[in-house]
Each structure stands twice: as C-alpha cells, then as structure tokens.
C-alpha cells in the first residue's frame, strides 16, 4: 500500500499550499524504509483512532481537560508521521478546550474530524 501526499491528490505544489501529509519527509526523518514507515504509521494511526474515541467521550461529557489531553497526544502523534494538517487541527482543539471556549471548540473539533478524514483518504485507510 502506498501513501499519497496531499499535493498529489490536489495537483498542487508544496510551495503553494502548506503540507497536509508528507509521509516521505517523515520516513526520511525516522530513517526507516517504506515498509518500516508503514508499520509505524499503522501503530500510530491505531493510537490516534483510540485517542479520538477518548476525545469524543470527553467532549460529550463536558470534560474539557480530557479533551485537551487527548488532543495534545494526537497532535504529537500526527506530527511524528508527517500528518501536519491533523496535528494543527488537534492543536486547535487543545487550545479551545484549555480556553474553555464552547463555540471555538465545536468548530475546532469539526475541522479536526475533517483533517482526520482527509488523512484517512490519503493513507488509503477509508
């Protein structure tokens, strides 16, 4: 299974648009081959999915500290696999949860879910 970088999907160059998903840069940074990166990606994706469920449960129960904690962990995990858009979206969720801004948090969670869906499509996980 191969990954598709965001600029490949949209026919745009990285210079015109901030990186959404750069698996090759992440793979090179880790110093692993494509198979090794896939294994790391799969492990981290499972963790992100688990943390997303915990984030959703915390949000539903009004536990903003729990939302911030899960978003913080997702932010770091996503960055480690080159998923910059997801990392930025998780950072926005974390910030809104810490500031206890209900409207901003709802908007940030919507953007986070959209970024996760985009990454899922780019990674061929759908």
pLDDT tens, position by position, 64-106: 999 999 999 999 999 999 899 999 999 999 999 999 999 999 9
Check residues 23 and 36 and name the one with the higher pLDDT. Answer: 36
Question: What pTM, to 2 d.p., does this model score?
Answer: 0.81
What average pLDDT does this structure show over 46-62? 96
The pLDDT value recorded for residue 107 is: 97
Domain borders along the chain are 18-122
What tokens appear for 58 in the block? 């915390």
* Distance, CA of 48 to CA of 16 (rounded, Å): 28
Question: 34 and 40 in contact (C-beta within 8 Å)?
Answer: no
Whole-number Å distance between alpha carbons of 75 and 96: 14
Greater confidence (94 vs 10) lies with: 94
Hey, what are 122's tokens? 């780019």
Token pair belonging to 9 = 């999907």
């Amino acid at each position: 299974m191969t990954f598709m970088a965001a600029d490949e999907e949209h026919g745009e160059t990285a210079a015109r648009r901030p990186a959404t998903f750069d698996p090759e840069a992440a793979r090179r940074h880790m110093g692993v081959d494509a198979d090794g990166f896939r294994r790391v990606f799969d492990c981290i994706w499972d963790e992100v999915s688990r943390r997303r469920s915990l984030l959703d449960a915390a949000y539903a129960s009004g536990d903003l500290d729990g939302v911030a904690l899960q978003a913080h962990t997702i932010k770091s995990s996503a960055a480690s696999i080159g998923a910059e858009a997801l990392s930025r979206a998780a950072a926005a969720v974390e910030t809104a949860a810490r500031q206890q801004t209900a409207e901003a948090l709802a908007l940030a969670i919507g953007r986070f879910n959209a970024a996760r869906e985009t990454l899922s499509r780019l990674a061929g996980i759908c």
